């Protein structure tokens, strides 16, 4: 058995993530001995179970509790196939995959009235195969009344944030143009309200700041847990203005 510790309490979480593999089997182990870590792992169980029900995977159990005590919890999670996009993936280069993510979200969240939230839907938590997509890492899953599409908007704005860190001059304009096309696709194929696009970035950030408790101590530890919180006020105004004007004018 090959055992590999991948993450040790990153971003202030108190969770250990390991990957165990032998000849024909790969799975991930998530564990914690702290109250906040254990609470997050219970959210993870709920999130995966909701996701698998939404995907009509029947009795398939993606997640197994291998050890539970009041002060320690260990989960074994099936390894899903697929590759991750880079965190700063271009909206132009990867347009088709972003559209697939929108379609996938539309199917899974559908018309659900209970308004669940993934809470950390970034490209680091989406696995892509030629035929399918898997969303992983459900530690922040909540039935919290987030607006429909919140997780999607979060994903786009986090990707844009990473995009912008390496960009200069005109390229940002091209990425914003591509992003506004994706938002138009989002408006056309899903039930997302067009009101979500008046000030989409400002609204996304405002929701997070008003509900910091959903992300627990990790946000107290570092805003880098959710990079969209690192946009400056000027950037937020600029991005919302550009996206709104493109969506109205085009």
Partner 1 sequence: MKTMNMQDLHQYLSKYGYTRDGEIYVSVGSKGYWSNIDRDDNKKLISQLQNRSAKEVIQNNNPELYDVIFSPRREAGLELLELSGDETVIDIGCMWGALTVPLSKRARHVIGVEQTRESLELLRARLRDEDITNVTLINQDAKSFPALPDHLKADVIIVNGVLEWLPEVDQVELKRYIGKRNVGHEENLSSPGDMQKEFLKLVFSNLKVGGRLYLAIENRYDYKMFLGLADPHNGLLFTTLLPRGLANLVSQLRLGRPYRNWIYSRTELEKILKETGFPSVSTYVAYPDYRFPEYIENYEGRSTEFRPSKPIPAKTVVKKIKRRFQYFFEYLIFKFMNLRFFFPSFITISKK
Question: Which stretches of the chain bind partner 1, using CB under 8 A?
Answer: 2-9, 14, 16, 18-19, 29, 31-34, 37, 67, 69, 71-72, 74
Q: Quick one: 1 or 168, whose CB is closer to partner 1?
A: 1
**What contacts 62, CB < 8 A, 6 or more positions away?**
48, 51, 52, 77, 78, 80
CB of 193 to partner 1, least distance (A): 39
Nearer to partner 1, 33 or 90 (CB): 33
Q: Which is nearer to partner 1, 17 or 192 (CB)?
A: 17
How far, CA to CA in Å, does 217 sit from each of 13, 138, 223?
7, 16, 11
Judged by beta carbon, residue 34 or residue 90, the one nearer partner 1 is 34
Neighbour tally for 196: CB within 10 Å: 19
Minimal distance, residue 24 CB to partner 1, in Å = 17
- Rounded to the nearest whole angstrom, what is the least distance from the CB of residue 246 to partner 1 in the complex? 35
Residue 188 buriedness (CB in 10 A; 0-12 / 13-18 / 19+): exposed
CB of 167 to partner 1, least distance (A): 20
Structural Rg of the chain based on CA atoms: 18
The least CB distance from residue 36 to partner 1, in Å, is 10
Smaller CB separation from partner 1, 31 or 204: 31
C-alpha distances in Å from residue 165, one per residue of 87, 145, 231: 11, 32, 11
């Amino acid at each position: 058995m090959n055992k590999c510790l991948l993450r040790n309490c990153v971003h202030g979480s108190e969770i250990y993530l390991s990957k165990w593999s032998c000849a024909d089997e790969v799975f991930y182990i998530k564990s914690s001995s702290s109250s906040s870590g254990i609470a997050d792992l219970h959210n993870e169980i709920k999130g995966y179970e909701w996701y698998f029900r939404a995907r009509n995977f029947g009795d398939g159990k993606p997640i197994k509790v291998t050890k539970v005590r009041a002060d320690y919890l260990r989960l074994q999670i099936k390894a899903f196939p697929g590759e991750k996009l880079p965190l700063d993936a271009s909206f132009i280069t990867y347009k088709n995959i972003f559209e697939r993510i929108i379609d996938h979200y539309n199917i899974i969240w559908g018309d659900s009235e209970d308004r669940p939230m993934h809470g950390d839907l970034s490209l680091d938590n989406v696995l892509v195969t030629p035929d399918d997509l898997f969303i992983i890492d459900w530690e922040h899953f909540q039935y919290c009344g987030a607006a429909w599409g919140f997780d999607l908007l979060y994903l786009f704005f986090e990707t844009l944030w990473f995009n912008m860190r390496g960009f200069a001059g005109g390229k940002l304009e091209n990425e914003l143009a591509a992003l506004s096309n994706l938002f138009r696709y989002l408006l056309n194929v899903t039930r997302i309200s067009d009101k979500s696009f008046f000030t989409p970035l400002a609204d996304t950030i405002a929701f997070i700041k008003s509900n910091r408790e959903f992300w627990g101590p990790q946000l107290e530890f570092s805003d880098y847990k959710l990079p969209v919180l690192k946009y400056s006020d000027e950037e937020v105004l600029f991005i919302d203005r550009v996206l709104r004007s493109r969506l109205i004018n085009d």
